[in-house]
Amino acid sequence: MKILHTADWHLGHYLRGQENNRFDEHEYFLRWLLDMIESHSIDLLILAGDIFDSTNPPHWAEEQYYRFLAEVRQTHCKNVLIIGGNHDSPNNLNAPKQILNFLDIHVIGKASEVPEDEIIIINNKKSSIQLVVGAVPFLRDSDIRRSVNAENIMETERRIKAGILQHYAQIAHLVKKYKEEGIPVIATGHLYAAKSHTSDSEKEIHIGNQGQIDAERLPTIFDYIALGHIHRPQKVAGLNHIRYSGSPIPLSFSEYTDHKQVIIIEVDEKGLTDLQEIPIPLMRPLLSFKGTVEDVSKQVLDYKKMTTLSPWAEVKINTKEYEYNIHERIQALGKQVGLDILKVSIEHDKAGAQNDTIPTNLQSLHELTPLQVFKQKCENEQVNLEEDKYKEVLEAFQSLLEEVDEDNITALS
């Protein structure tokens, strides 16, 4: 049985502003993916969460998603499994669940109170079981609270970790009988594994990214664990069979050197028998130029166009001086060589800004997360709380945010 693992598509993504949508890049990727599915005779496609970039994606992104699903059905691959990520709206993803199920497209948008609902059985044409998948969507704080009793707010981190691991343990317990019959069992999930190499584009999933999971503590019964959330492809904790496929396109300038990929695995009664990393052709590179005004001007002017879609660039300038009109000057240089420069930032020689503080080169509110705004507000109001109390306040804010997210009152991403 051949399985293709991909994740973190973020359909409907914009890179710094509404005019820079990623539709074309995603479209190239999806055409390429259909070819791969056909040429490698894939039996099951797994999308490990963050299908969409926001809980309220633009209509053209939804259309792209459904068109792709219809097209997959016309290939060799007759089974698709989709789980919800932290960017997805669990309810929106689940809305067409019943009808997609008729097409063998299994959707697990959110955690169920009944763990059996997260067990997906894949049959062959003769209706005998070929594979069992434990499909665990992104677990929200509210999903975890349901399962862990100890409700001591000071133990937030322990509680989140324990809750997530307990959920996976339940799933492992349910697939045990299949494994004993010699049927391969795998899992898919959307979580933050400890010590993974992140980029700038993963949204914080629990306050302060607590609840990072030690991969060594995930159940060992699974022949493979297909993860989503981290956008750089990687093995987790050096384990060959626990992997992030990564996002198919770079979602931030910090990913400009990443080699994007999908993963194809083969499993049978002996377990995992083959694993291949298939590089995804890069249609629109993101570039990053750094240095003094002179350095970056030279780098921009030396640039030669070599790709299908013209690259997007960021420029980081290191200077002690005040630079007059620097954004306009750098962008004009880009224009001369046909390069779109989306971001110009000036780094004065001081310690790197923390992720949660508001960048000094901010152009619009859209570039901030709600949590960043909230933290800044606390700072402005000089809210002086002890660390534990502050964590508690942040957690309360995060819970509110999730409620708003789930109700889809407004798109916060």
Helices (H), 126-257: 141-147, 156-180
Q: Which residues contact 78 (CB under 8 A, 6 or more apart)?
A: 43, 104
Amino acid sitting at position 293: V
* CB-based contact 214:196 (threshold 8 Å): no
The stretch among 7-15, 26-34, 155-163, 309-317 that binds Mn ion (CB under 5 A) is 7-15
Site residues (CB under 5 A) for Mn ion, limited to 230-259: none
The pair of structure tokens assigned to 114 is 């009944």
Q: Closest distance between Mn ion and the C-beta of residue 251, in Å?
A: 7
CB nearer to Mn ion: pick between 50 and 258: 50
CB nearer to Mn ion: pick between 13 and 167: 13
Q: Closest distance between Mn ion and the C-beta of residue 58, in Å?
A: 17
* CB-based contact 183:130 (threshold 8 Å): yes
Site residues (CB under 5 A) for Mn ion, limited to 116-135: none
* Residue whose C-beta lies closest to Mn ion: 50
CB nearer to Mn ion: pick between 8 and 143: 8
**Distance between CA 239 and CA 237 in Å, rounded?**
5
The pair of structure tokens assigned to 411 is 């798109």
Options 3, 5, 6, 8; binder of Mn ion; rule CB under 5 A: 8
Q: Closest distance between Mn ion and the C-beta of residue 8, in Å?
A: 4
CB nearer to Mn ion: pick between 50 and 143: 50
The stretch among 8-16, 21-29, 61-69, 288-296 that binds Mn ion (CB under 5 A) is 8-16
CB nearer to Mn ion: pick between 138 and 312: 138
- Other CB atoms closer than 10 Å to residue 379's CB: what's the count? 11
Q: Closest distance between Mn ion and the C-beta of residue 247, in Å?
A: 6
CB nearer to Mn ion: pick between 51 and 183: 51
State the sign of the Cα–Cα–Cα–Cα dihedral 222, 132, 51, 142.
negative
The stretch among 6-14, 322-330, 359-367, 388-396 that binds Mn ion (CB under 5 A) is 6-14
Binding mask 21-60 for Mn ion (x = CB under 5 A): -----------------------------x----------
CB nearer to Mn ion: pick between 8 and 141: 8
The pair of structure tokens assigned to 277 is 């990393």
Q: Closest distance between Mn ion and the C-beta of residue 50, in Å?
A: 3
Beta-strand pair 79-83/234-236: unpaired
CB nearer to Mn ion: pick between 50 and 395: 50
* CB-based contact 81:103 (threshold 8 Å): no
For 171-192, the DSSP string reads HHHHHHHHHHTT--EEEEEE--
CB nearer to Mn ion: pick between 54 and 79: 54
Q: Closest distance between Mn ion and the C-beta of residue 229, in Å?
A: 6
Binding mask 96-115 for Mn ion (x = CB under 5 A): --------------------
Number of residues that bind Mn ion (CB under 5 A): 2
The pair of structure tokens assigned to 314 is 């960021």
CA-derived radius of gyration, the chain? 22
- How far lies 185's CA from each of 82, 119, 181, 220, 400, in Å? 17, 10, 11, 11, 37
The pair of structure tokens assigned to 92 is 């929106």
Q: Closest distance between Mn ion and the C-beta of residue 238, in Å?
A: 22
Please report, as ranges, the residues that interact with Mn ion according to CB under 5 A: 8, 50
